[in-house]
Structure 1
């Protein structure tokens, strides 16, 4: 049986074979070639390059970005800047639950989206206006999110937190933990996934945090370097690879008992994971939380705040369904 390939598939396969041969041919020399795990990264990049142009041009990505009026009241300095990546399909469920709970406990917390959110009282910026609302563009969303946060919102926060729209952060626990660390050092915090990279990378689902020093290095040395910081359809692995190029590796964020502060899955799924991978009592993040569960957890952690809360953004608008 004779297999036929589209021209793009032939180019991808030829590239894969060529770089593999170069790695083999020059394996005894101190030269820089793509490692096998990186070949896996570049292969889908070639396949999808026509649908998802790899441009990182700031001039092309910034035009038309809007900010809700409520973001103008947020401080431009503090301990934690938080951005939550979301899309229009989640405006009526995931977004309200995060807005009603942990996001407002960041010094500056906002949603990054492609289109404006339904309520002007929400803190949002349409940072992804000129990017594809697609799984295959998550990498560019995240790296541009960090770039834009630092360069065009403020470079005066100690820590920059990136989260998905189904992740809950226990901000009191997070602040307690961050108070033990130095943001002037290039730190990369989260739940470490060991496979794929020599030193691992932090799970995107559990959320990850870069210190001010780490974001500065990323912006100045990595964002525009498309070889040292190549496209990866797996956003979190791609960020880990980029930071590894300049010697920034995941920090061990486990507590003194060896339990994880950042969790890429909900507690009910822990029985299916490896022994010793349970959540710390001082957990920082929990992933895959539906709206009702997130609200309930937040009420359990902050009963006094929920009872006395008079914030109109949370209580008095039907959009939030609270």
Structure 2
């Protein structure tokens, strides 16, 4: 009888021990599971918050600042900057844009012929030919309309050799309405319409982005042939838009079709004939605005040098004078 009791006690203890072990393993499993969940969650947060991180379904955003509408209400407009580039320029001039003024926009996108997830660029699938610039531009506008229309107020188009003083651009736009059918830039006149230089960069309202994306196809003036900036001017006019006045309080242009160096040295004798014909006011306006917004034909060294002088160089005992806004 004692032997039977001893056997039963041993079986009971073994059963209890097994149950305890299973409970411990289960607890460890729950703990491990919770740990993995937390690690996964923290990893996702890290990706979302990192400087190069990408929001869901937005795998090509290079720069994304806080674009919360309440933060910008009554202050500066939300600005999306998009740059046309190509694969062979990514390591030089395009990298200079990305590392200088491109960081100051709320959202920055780079459009190329091919996707490049490391830079990153958005591939539009068009061969890198000058005749395809208008196709790339229209493709980029439709992409922005589909994915970013309500995340910005103004949309700046620039080339990879354009330098933009973003703070001056924000100031220029602060009293302008993004729901007007308008765009601003370096204005040229051709026959019976005006357009803005593509190289100087032009900034479109939210309404203009919408109208071009929805109504350009099927509109003869918007067909995707010819010089990109001229065709854009024709399309804007056909859709009822306007080329806005882009001058400061002293009636000086703030978007520039050529480089800062060109204007500083006042090279009017070497001004191309097409500029003289399409900008009749050229000679009377051969002076840089103190609140200039953009310059074209800026190589990577020029771009980095100008960015350093504007943002990093301090002169002791010197205070910048007030500027005419």
The bucket for the TM-score relative to the shorter chain is 0.5 to 0.7
Q: CA deviation at 1:247?
A: 2.1
What corresponds to 2:196 in structure 1? 202
State the 1:296 CA deviation.
Answer: 0.9
2:307 maps to which residue?
298
Partner of 1:263, secondary structure, is coil
Q: CA deviation at 1:219?
A: 1.5
Q: Retained in 2: the 8 A contact 1:77–1:157?
A: no
What is residue 11 of structure 2 aligned with on the other side? none
Query: In the alignment, is residue 275 of structure 1 matched against residue 283 of structure 2?
Result: yes
Match of 2:296 among 275, 282, 287: 287
The structure showing larger relative contact order (alpha-carbon pairs under 8 Å, at least 6 residues apart) is: 1
**1:151-182: CA deviation from partner (whole Å, max 9, x where unpaired):** 13443310011110000000010011110211
Q: Counterpart in 2 of 1:133?
A: 128
Q: Distance in 2 between matches of 1:68 and 1:89?
A: 21
Distance 1:74 1:134, change over 3 A: farther
Please name the residue that 2:180 is paired with. Answer: 185
Aligned to 1:143: 138
Whether the 8 Å contact between 1:76 and 1:154 is mirrored in structure 2 is no
Q: Report the Cα offset of residue 68 of structure 1.
A: 4.5
Q: 1:145 to 1:220 in 2, by over 3 A?
A: same
Which residue does 1:82 correspond to in 2?
A: 81
Higher alpha-carbon Rg: 2
Q: Secondary structure at the match of 1:225?
A: coil
Change in 2 beyond 3 A, CA 1:177/1:69: closer
Q: Secondary structure at the match of 1:262?
A: coil
Q: Deviations over 1:249-284 (max 9, x none)?
A: 211101111211100101333322431333211010
Tell me how far 1:71 sits from its aligned partner. Answer: 4.5
Partner residue, 1:248:
241
Is the CA contact (8 Å cut-off) linking 1:76 and 1:153 kept in structure 2? no
Q: Deviations over 1:7-47 (max 9, x none)?
A: xxxxxxxxxxxxxxxxxxxxxxxxxxxxxxxxxxxxxxxxx
Equivalent residue for 2:323? none
**1:58-137 equivalences in 2 (<5 Å):** 68=59, 71=62, 79-117=78-116, 120=118, 122-126=119-123, 128=124, 130-137=125-132
Q: Distance in 2 between matches of 1:193 and 1:159?
A: 21
Counterparts in 2 of 1:226 and 1:103: CA distance versus 1, 3 Å:
same
Summarize deviations over 1:58-111 as a string: whole Å, max 9, x none: xxxxxxxx9656649666766111110000121121011101101111100121
Whether the 8 Å contact between 1:86 and 1:113 is mirrored in structure 2 is yes
Unaligned runs of 5+ in 1: 1-65, 306-322
1:170 match: 165
List gaps (5 residues or longer) in structure 2. Answer: 1-56, 70-77, 272-281, 315-325
Deviations 1:223-252 (A, max 9, x none): x12424123320000000001002212111
More helix by proportion, 1 or 2? Answer: 2
Mapped contact 1:197–1:241 kept (Cα < 8 A): no
* Aligned equivalents of 1:221, 1:192: Cα separation in 2: 24
Contact persistence 1:112–1:125 (CA under 8 A): yes
Q: Size of the alignment, in residue pairs?
A: 234
Segments of 4+ moved more than 4 angstroms: 66-78
Query: Compared with structure 1, are the counterparts of its residues 123 and 178 closer, same or farther at alpha carbon in structure 2 (3 Å cutoff)?
Result: farther
Q: Compared with structure 1, are the counterparts of its residues 77 and 235 closer, same or farther at alpha carbon in structure 2 (3 Å cutoff)?
A: farther
